[in-house]
Structure 1
């Protein structure tokens, strides 16, 4: 996008060229030092589509832009080249918001959670568009197969479906690169660590009857399938900056270029295998068993809890152990409760992000909301989750309520699915293959409409407005 007109208006609204002493930027904000801040028109600035919020702090006049801040900064420099001094450029690359150390366990936990979500969403934002497009493509393919227009055994289906699947399969590689750039570690080293996690040898071990590998003296470590995972590589990127700092102190400068990257790859790969993977494996299995037990005990309560918290499981990669349970249920009984409830969560998420798209006046957020909503209707919720829900927490809460209500209704009506594809595009999977359209399909329509409707209405009325600052602004 061309931000020259936005730059011109920002310059005018902060009091003009003669009112600006210096300009620098951080990850999300333009930071002006003005001769007279009273000459700046904050109300006019906040009406601009590119501006999220205006703040005055730390002796600076701060304009929150978001992840396009560098583009806007460059556009301003083109019009005011005098600001592009060597000192100004150096400060623009290194300035950060002053950290306030939180006091108390609750405050520290919230601070850490906000930091994690900020890094996660900032790392995902560069690929949200591709995720949404891939989700829509997979949905169209599923629809064509359901309508018997295309065979899932045909060559064209295989090629296009593989293209759409690629972004999800190689997610650890891509996130390794983007997260490293956000956190200040080596992007190439982290991309290689992501590739290691999905190397055929690792996938092969994870698929074996005993998914573990022996290391030394009878000691073995569990190995899991990391394809499509998010959390482990984010942890590696965070640890990477500390590992690099230590290695650069310990290794002579003349050989750092050779030994620092490979040692970082080896160290972080072992950390993921020895610490992160076992923790996620234990948590995942425990959650899978707990969810199965809860659904068996009480469908209404179990459906509500599952619907509300399933998106959180996706964020931490704890949803993968549910897939074997779904596959086993479909193979043995021909139907699945868990997959049916997962379908509801995607539709509820679509309701939330479409409400944001309709309500916002920001063109970029509107476009993201519509594309992510369509992708969620096709069963792919990641663009909505990382592009909007995690950035705007209140939207996430409204969607959780909508999914909880829809899940409770589905549990009370004993909803099941007869295939693997759900959400809106997978409606044929809810038709009973023996009796055709029956009470189960009615339960599908009612539960999904309720989840969508509740999430949409709550988000539209209470969950979002354009004055909200997204959670990754100070990541």
Structure 2
């Protein structure tokens, strides 16, 4: 393959070098900030040999090239475009300028929560292993593995400690990522997050019982009583505290000489943020977080099948707009507050449905390039990354996307009506079953069958009838 020629064709298809604000690449894709995505010749781009698909998300136009080839094409591409190599952050900065306030808010949430996902997903998978060992009825009638083999109990206990750490100290993870995103010192973000879960504070999970018994510990600050509670599993308190901490830190750094910043900036920023968080920010955001959680739980308790139908069907649409990132925070809040989440299982099934639709296009097509694209993007979706399948295949032909979201809605209706929950966020695809609470494995497996069979068969038959692949 003549890589220089491929780069020339890509540059021409996207509107020339005048249409490029910034360009970088990841393991498989060119990631471009374009001046006007509307002038991209999509048909011409899809017919280029090196291109396996393209899609637009969060203000970036991404072109799927493939591992091992994308970096070579990128070097030829930037040479032809007359621009230097740029980082992902520089491209994100260029694309952010084109976003409206809502898009920027969603992007901010994504930039905060995506970096901590590896810890959360790992915790979810380890919790799945713990579920296998401790849940009764999986391998033995009414008994768990550790009931039958007590020698495994300490291993299960060690696993749960390792798995739970990410959730016990969740505000520390969020504080690090949020302060880093807002432009402050990440180490101070970790500290403010850990302050909110200090062991001397009343554990947030014990707060409700303490209120009933009337023994919530308090600080007496010159006659003002402040509840001495922690914020384990909470998202909003540490997000707001991290933003405030960053603003105070940046304010002080501009006004305090470099020689004494170490003595004043950190202590003042943490003290002011800590006091304001315990006195004002914490109680208000704690209440808001609980209202959101209680509202969702009450809605799904009352109208479980309807909630599953709507969320299961709409999740694929949310991915197109990028708004799915907002529900990552909701899932984490649900896990932190209730120990499980009923939203995440539907996410996993939605991803599988999109992958199944892409596999159907692969099976129905006689075009080798499209077959390869259907296979690679289908595998990616089944492992939790749906954008390549969505934008490279399913939305391109439209009906695969419709079959996928319809199947996801049906599966969402079924698993919600059965009360399926996950103990944590896991791999949002086929491996996601390991994050499901063990007693719901069968129901989730039935949901998986729905989102594998219906999109695959429906898309395949319709594609054969339409003969457009």
TM-score, L = length of structure 1: 0.57
Q: Are 1:138 and 2:152 matched, yes or no? A: no
What is the number of residues matched between the two proteins?
380
Question: Cα offset for 1:216?
Answer: 0.8
Quote the Cα distance in structure 2 between the aligned partners of 1:43 and 1:352: 26
Query: 2:198 touches 2:230 (CA, 8 Å); kept in 1?
Result: no
Q: Which residue of the other structure, out of 241, 252, 257, is the alignment partner of 1:252?
A: 257
Which residue of 2 is the match for residue 236 of structure 1? Answer: 241
SS at match of 1:220: strand
Question: Cα offset for 1:130?
Answer: 4.2
Quote the Cα distance in structure 1 between the aligned partners of 2:251 and 2:263: 15
Query: Unpaired segments of 5 or more residues in structure 2?
Result: 313-326, 359-372, 396-401, 425-431, 459-469
Q: Which residue of the other structure, out of 266, 275, 278, is the alignment partner of 1:270?
A: 275
Q: Are 1:13 and 2:10 matched, yes or no? A: yes
Quote the Cα distance in structure 1 between the aligned partners of 2:173 and 2:145: 34
Cα deviation per residue 1:53-111 (whole Å; 9 max; x = unaligned)? 499x9xxxx74479x9xx9789946996896779999977964643576xxxxxxxxx3
Deviates more, 1:184-193 or 1:169-178: 169-178
Quote the Cα distance in structure 2 between the aligned partners of 1:286 and 1:90: 35
Question: RMSD over aligned Cα, in angstroms?
Answer: 5.7
Quote the Cα distance in structure 2 between the aligned partners of 1:352 and 1:81: 40
Cα deviation per residue 1:13-46 (whole Å; 9 max; x = unaligned)? 2269xx868974589953479xxx9999644579
Quote the Cα distance in structure 1 between the aligned partners of 2:438 and 2:277: 40
Q: Are 1:159 and 2:164 matched, yes or no? A: no
Q: Which residue of the other structure, out of 218, 224, 229, is the alignment partner of 1:213?
A: 218
Which residue of 2 is the match for residue 353 of structure 1? Answer: 351
SS at match of 2:219: strand
Quote the Cα distance in structure 1 between the aligned partners of 2:111 and 2:271: 26
Quote the Cα distance in structure 2 between the aligned partners of 1:230 and 1:123: 11
Q: How does 1:108-187 map to 2 (within 5 A)?
A: 111-112=101-102, 114-146=103-135, 147=139, 148-150=144-146, 151=150, 154-187=153-186
Query: 1:25 touches 1:93 (CA, 8 Å); kept in 2?
Result: no
| Change beyond 3 A, Cα 1:9–1:126 | farther
Query: 2:22 touches 2:90 (CA, 8 Å); kept in 1?
Result: yes
TM-score, L = length of structure 2: 0.58
Which residue of 2 is the match for residue 196 of structure 1? Answer: 195
Query: 1:26 touches 1:92 (CA, 8 Å); kept in 2?
Result: yes
SS at match of 1:198: coil
SS at match of 1:282: helix
Question: Cα offset for 1:190?
Answer: 1.1
Quote the Cα distance in structure 2 between the aligned partners of 1:223 and 1:8: 66
SS at match of 1:200: coil
Question: Cα offset for 1:12?
Answer: 5.8
Quote the Cα distance in structure 1 between the aligned partners of 2:454 and 2:275: 45
| Change beyond 3 A, Cα 1:237–1:74 | farther
Q: Are 1:48 and 2:47 matched, yes or no? A: no
Quote the Cα distance in structure 2 between the aligned partners of 1:267 and 1:229: 20
Question: Cα offset for 1:354?
Answer: 1.6
| Change beyond 3 A, Cα 1:251–1:6 | farther
Query: 1:171 touches 1:228 (CA, 8 Å); kept in 2?
Result: yes
Deviates more, 1:346-355 or 1:301-310: 301-310
Query: Unpaired segments of 5 or more residues in structure 1?
Result: 102-110, 324-338, 373-382, 431-443, 463-475
Question: Cα offset for 1:350?
Answer: 2.4
Quote the Cα distance in structure 2 between the aligned partners of 1:461 and 1:185: 51
Question: Cα offset for 1:193?
Answer: 1.4
